[in-house]
């Protein structure tokens, strides 16, 4: 039978129980820190220790174990016995850990532990001990549950740490199946996350957004969200499409608000997956208010707004030293003519293709002449991504001739000249 087959992986509840750590070097100090965090009563036996460097509170010190401490160490603290290890120091312990740097001392601790039927970890030579400390990664999920991953790798700690770090990265990114499978207890409510999915590319959603999406029971999705991520969801996740197109809003906003509240009150975790950022013309504020009014816990997960990222996709920065010192974002059907600034102040218009001709004409002012550069960027980061450039005088005609269709973003200002699509 292989060494790996002889290991029985097990989590230990050490809170309130005595653990004896023999040795006071950096390895022992790291183990003490972990044990204190787990609530153990820790006794350190060592003539010298670097415990202070680990910022571990020392409850009591005694030069001789036989004299006895003033009292047993309390959970989450340590007692330091400042001398070399002696047989009998393990009395009353549930677990022992030795990391003295002396093979003979570690062997003595392990032998004493074996006779006392106490599991023992030996840091110097793992084969001497009866227990092993794995590489551990912990991730707190959206329902405050904690996923703990422990990795052992054939007594190769560096390999174990590398595997642990890789798994921890995938846990944080939401690419592992993190959904809760046991139903919530009793009348416990679910939660709502308003997630900005970015401009549509699956790589441009935030790590937090992807992580909560991986834990959702219900996903209420917009047309411009990163819909390809829906293919990664488990079959039992309910996906509700509330996507809107120009002039067609099949699910009114008040019904979307009601859906979020309804499912959360039923004990489900709900992700409202939106394009861009929830607060940039995404009506996220209304959804947040609806959830709060219903007593539902809600979190906003910001996203990369398309107002900045989509122009960047075609080489147009919304600001650029010596070209544009600021920018404004507005919808194409709002009062564009009232926006101050000339060509050195970038205008980004969302949802403006339908009224492009009227908007372009209205934007022409004494400060913003008709030859101000303009661009229309279609389907940013999508399969149809395309940029059409012109000026305020010509852009509407050029867009019509090119058959420009939503979704598209309009950029007005001298920064358009920086795009590779602008004729040199």
Helix, strand, coil shares of the chain as percentages rounded to 5?
Answer: 30, 25, 45
Of the residues 143, 244, 334, 414, only one is catalytic, namely: 244
Residues 29-35: contacts with CB under 8 Å, at least 24 apart = 29/53, 29/54, 29/56, 30/54, 31/97, 31/99, 31/121, 31/123, 31/133, 32/56, 32/78, 35/97
Contacts of 166 (CB under 8 A, 6+ apart): none
- Token pair 């790291």 is at which residue? 30
Do the beta carbons of residue 134 and residue 10 sit within 8 Å? no
Task: Report which secondary-structure segment, H or E, holds 313.
Answer: helix 306-313
In 3D space, the residue among 275, 340, 327 whose CA is nearest the CA of residue 303 turns out to be 275
Given 89, 106, 222, 379, the catalytic residue: 222
Catalytic annotation present for 244? yes
> Quick one: how many helices (H) and strands (E) in the chain?
9, 18
Question: Residues with Cβ < 8 Å from 367, sequence gap 6 or more?
Answer: 340, 341, 342
- Ordered DSSP codes for 23-83: --SHHHHHHHHHHHHTT-EEEEE-SS--GGGGT--EEEEES-GGG--SSPPPTT-EEEE-S
Radius of gyration over every alpha carbon of the chain, rounded to an integer in angstroms: 31
Write out the catalytic residue numbers.
Answer: 222, 244
């Amino acid at each position: 039978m292989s060494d790996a087959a002889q290991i029985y992986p097990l989590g230990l509840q050490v809170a309130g129980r005595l653990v004896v750590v023999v040795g006071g070097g950096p390895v022992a100090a790291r183990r003490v820190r972990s044990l204190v965090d787990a609530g153990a009563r820790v006794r350190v036996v060592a003539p010298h220790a670097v415990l202070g460097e680990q910022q571990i509170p020392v409850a009591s010190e005694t030069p001789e174990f036989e004299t006895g401490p003033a009292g047993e160490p309390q959970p989450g603290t340590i007692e330091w016995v400042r001398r070399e290890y002696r047989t009998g120091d393990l009395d009353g312990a549930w677990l022992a850990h030795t990391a003295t740097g002396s093979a003979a001392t570690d062997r003595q601790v392990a032998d004493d532990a074996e006779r006392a039927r106490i599991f023992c970890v030996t840091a110097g030579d793992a084969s001497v001990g009866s227990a092993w400390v794995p590489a551990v990664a912990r991730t707190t999920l959206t329902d405050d549950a904690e996923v703990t991953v422990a990795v052992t790798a054939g007594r190769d700690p560096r390999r174990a740490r590398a595997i642990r770090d890789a798994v921890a990265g995938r846990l944080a990114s939401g690419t592992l199946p993190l959904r809760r499978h046991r139903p919530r207890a009793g009348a416990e409510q679910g939660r709502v996350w308003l997630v900005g999915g970015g401009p549509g590319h699956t790589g441009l959603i935030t790590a937090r957004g992807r992580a909560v999406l991986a834990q959702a029971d219900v996903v209420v999705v917009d047309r411009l969200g990163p819909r390809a991520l829906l293919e990664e969801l488990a079959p039992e996740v309910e996906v509700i499409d509330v996507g809107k197109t120009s002039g067609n809003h099949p699910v009114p906003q008040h019904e979307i608000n009601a859906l979020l509240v309804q499912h959360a009150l039923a004990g489900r975790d709900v992700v409202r997956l939106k394009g861009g950022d929830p607060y940039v013309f995404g009506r996220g504020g209304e959804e947040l208010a609806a959830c709060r009014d219903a007593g539902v816990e809600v979190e906003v997960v910001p996203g990369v707004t398309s107002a900045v990222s989509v122009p960047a996709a075609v080489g147009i920065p919304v600001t650029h030293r010596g070209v544009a010192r600021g920018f404004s974002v507005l919808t194409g059907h709002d009062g564009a003519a009232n926006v101050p600034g000339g060509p050195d102040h970038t205008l980004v218009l969302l949802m403006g293709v339908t009224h492009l001709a009227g908007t372009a004409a209205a934007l022409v002012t004494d400060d913003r002449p008709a030859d101000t550069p303009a661009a229309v960027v279609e389907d940013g980061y999508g399969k149809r991504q395309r940029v059409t450039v012109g000026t305020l005088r010509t852009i509407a005609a050029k867009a019509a001739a090119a058959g420009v269709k939503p979704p598209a973003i309009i950029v007005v200002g001298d920064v358009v000249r920086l795009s590779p699509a602008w004729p040199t």
